[in-house]
């Protein structure tokens, strides 16, 4: 698990949360939580004083909590793997004929 110092160091180098998260192998929302101590889903709204005391806070962070997704079944590599699994399994082949 990355530390607060690691996340903040990347932010200080000019990375945004998604880029820092990618480099650390974690989600952007988790990078935000580690850096700020607050969830990215805006479930906890900091006071003006807390905002001054917590570096790295964004005015809006919801996009970090629910990043876009990719449907892996749309990849040709996944389709080929699935087809091979079906070919290797008699029960699956029979089910596919139905």
Nearest of 21, 20, 57, 62 to residue 40 by alpha carbon: 62
Q: What is the pLDDT of residues 46-92, one digit of tens each?
A: 677 776 777 777 766 777 877 666 676 678 888 888 888 888 988 87
Instruction: Give pTM, 2 decimals.
Output: 0.57
- List helix spans (H) across the chain: 4-12, 17-24, 28-36, 48-53, 62-65, 76-87, 90-97
Domain boundaries, the chain: 1-67, 70-98
Identify the DSSP state of 74: G
pLDDT bin (cut points 50, 70, 90) of residue 12 is: very high
Greatest Cα pair distance in the chain: 65
Question: Integer distance in angstroms from the first to the last C-alpha of the chain?
Answer: 47
pLDDT bin (cut points 50, 70, 90) of residue 25 is: very high
């Amino acid at each position: 698990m990355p530390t607060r110092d690691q996340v903040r160091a990347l932010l200080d180098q000019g990375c945004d949360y998604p880029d820092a998260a990618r480099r650390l192998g974690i989600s952007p929302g988790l990078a935000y939580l580690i850096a700020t101590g607050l969830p990215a889903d805006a479930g906890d709204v900091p006071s003006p004083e807390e905002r001054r005391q917590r570096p790295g806070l964004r005015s809006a962070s919801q996009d970090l909590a629910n990043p876009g997704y990719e449907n892996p079944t749309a990849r040709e590599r996944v389709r080929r793997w699935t087809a091979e699994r079906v070919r290797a399994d008699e029960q699956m082949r029979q089910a596919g004929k139905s």
